[in-house]
Structure 1
Amino acid sequence: MQRLLDRLDQRLEKRFPEQRLFLKSDSATRYVRLRPLTQAVGIFSAVTFFAWGVLAASILLMDSIGSGNIRDQAAREQAYYETRLNDLAAERDARASETETAQSRFTYAMERISDMQSALLASEQRRIELETGIEVIQRTLRRTVDERDAARAHGAELARTLTDETGTARTGAEQAQDVAQTLDFLMSALDTATSERDNAALAADDARRQADHLALEVRLIQDRNTRIFAQLEEAIEMSVSPLERIFTNAGLSVDTILRQVRSGYQSQSAALQPISMSTSGSYDPDSDEARANRVLAGLDELNLYRVATERLPFARPVSGARQTSSFGVRRDPRTGASRQHNGVDWAAAQGTTITATSAGRVKFAGRQGGYGNLVIIEHDFGIETYYAHLHRINVSTGQRVSRGDKIGGMGTTGRSTGVHLHYEIRVGGTPLNPMTYIRAAQNVF
């Protein structure tokens, strides 16, 4: 070993010649020999320590700059999401107001159409009655003329019989009186028939004019209803499309979710019941009744989407925090081995408010192994959310919570290396990536 050290000293002699450090006291002078190997080790140690200091300072500076940028970006995204949420809420309220106004207009139009149809039917009935009266008068007139002719023939026959028996007919005065009475009767009947015929014709003309006017009003109302229905259908489609994208992007079956919501939603509003105004048995898909029913069905579907989104965990459990770990296989911070991470981690200050991401019932609230202080919320459709490592818990088992309710504060209990929230979503007990749900709704809510 000493030979190896001597050889190293000889090799380093050219670059690091032997030095002597003199130490002088009052009584004597001593010195310390600094061999080449000793000098090389000292210089290497100093250079290594200086390089480590520079590297550590650089890492700390870069981490500080990166953390500031992430916080600024998170603040900008939060402000954008809040602005987007306010805009969508205002648009939703405007669409709801337009829907109520259109429903009122539609009801008023239906009432007007019903009144017009009643008036049209009444005028048609009056026209039929007048035509029947004219026909009766004409039959009476014909019968009267026939009776007059028969009376004349009978009078002539009687006159011939009287002439044959008595040798003379009735006097001219009597015959003139009979003719005058007959003519007076006929003229009176003709005047009455003519007057009734003229009145019936006038009534029929007036009824036709009213019918034409009502038909025009019905066409105008139908045109207005067509525009109203088109606006309502467009508004419903624009409202349903982003909600449908939420479920599709989250990997959920829209039909299954809506069917489950519909089966459990018993408080359907009477205003959304289908409209039925025809009893003829025919069905026109382009009629106002059919379009109104389609609009009501769209509103009912929109309401089902609203109920479903309130029951699914689309929201973030914490605001103003930075994500430190994602879902999937990662390097364990304690052991260094690769293992499955069943949730998403966010880091922030201790005590940061943790909120429920959807409405549900608290299934568990307490301490559980490596999770530390843990809250489990049971939602509809077999979905559960986990909130782990909490500093404190603000809910109890069995309690009902709504989206945004505070359930605890961020901490570092359990198997944790720092203050953070571990958040999981499980469907039927199987962990899923929570960011799939959060990203699906981040541009809608």
Structure 2
Amino acid sequence: MEKYQNELLKDTLELLSFDGEEGKPLPGAPFGEGNRQCLDWFLSKAESFGFQTKNLDGYCGVADIGEGEAFGILGHLDTVPVGDGWTHNPYGEISGDVIYGRGVVDDRGPMLACLYAVKSLLDEGLIPKKRIRFIVGCNEETGWRCIKHFNTVEKMPDTGFSPDADFPVINCEKGIATITFEKNYSGNVEISGGTRPNVVPNVCTARIPDTADNLTIIEKSGLEYEIKDGRIVVTAHGKAAHAATPALGDNAIVKLLKALSDIDVDLKKIYGAFETSDGKGAGLDLRDDVSGALTVNLGIISSHEKLKFTINIRYPVTVKKSTLIDILDKCLYDFTIAESEFQEPLYVDKDDVLVKTLLSTYNDVMGTNLDAISIGGGTYARALKHGVAFGPEFPGVESTIHMPDERTPISTYMNVFKIYREAIRRLCF
């Protein structure tokens, strides 16, 4: 496998060089020029490996090789915004034995590792027993419009995996609810924080009247502030993380709302509901034995014209959408729901052959004896009738997806390659 390392690393840096944040729609590039260029690059690389490819109007791409029943490998090339706080090049850098870059873990690196895994098997002269179908999307982070478009023009494989979560194998993904609340607002606080519902916000800023009482409250909070144009400008800093694991972050909106709760009654209500990521304040502390506990991320807030905030909930597989709405309506009775989007949970039995094959592959390659797990993240595996998420993050290793300095050690990346190679060999060759 070592003979592929230099080539894989070189191509990974090229793949990371494209801007993956959703950009201005252009003809043939519905999610911006950067995502279109990245898609073109990936499909061109697949063609050079012998795949037949299709660019589906810039929404997503397909790369096929082999004949027979289709086996899907679904991932994405778009990324969350780069954001602030990087100490290495967010568009690809190798420093020491570590690769840095937005998308190196989520999800460009894993998709390229899977592509190289197939190439290495073909180079050995092995012939696929199935049609291996790569489906690469460009809108996973902000709406899945790529998958929706795919389903209008192509047939989705029944079975497959998505290399966009954790090892050893994910047989259960919690449901995902993204809900925006709003109300008319006559308060004196101008607040703004967060960029995406699925990212724990790392900064939040508010402007409040410069009064003696307000100044005392802000000084006691210990937050950063300055007096500007007759207003107190106060800023809270936190730590970004994926909304699926909010406890790994430090929510800047929540930190600022804590201070502002003594100034504004509406902000106090929001703070009380979402002070903790278990949703207990809102009455959302729900769990089940299959998938674990509910989590919630207060991802975006603003008070321009209306007081508006967006939460991202990862809910257990046995919880109904109507239950969530009923609980939130009672807690936030004076707010209205402006927008809502739900993704149904995913569950595949641990005794299913796909789960057992992927699990045994991981354990055999890594010399472990682990079991399938549940996550709060949502992957393209949900787009399959019979699919699961498989890697690339390892148990017990710090996750840096959606954070500054997203990274992976080269040795870890090569283990990812080896695991995917063996899994694809067992399932498709």
Larger Rg: 1
The structure with more strand, counted as a fraction of residues: 2
Identify, as 1 or 2, the structure richer in helix: 1
- The structure, 1 or 2, with the larger RCO (C-alpha pairs under 8 Å, 6+ apart) is 2
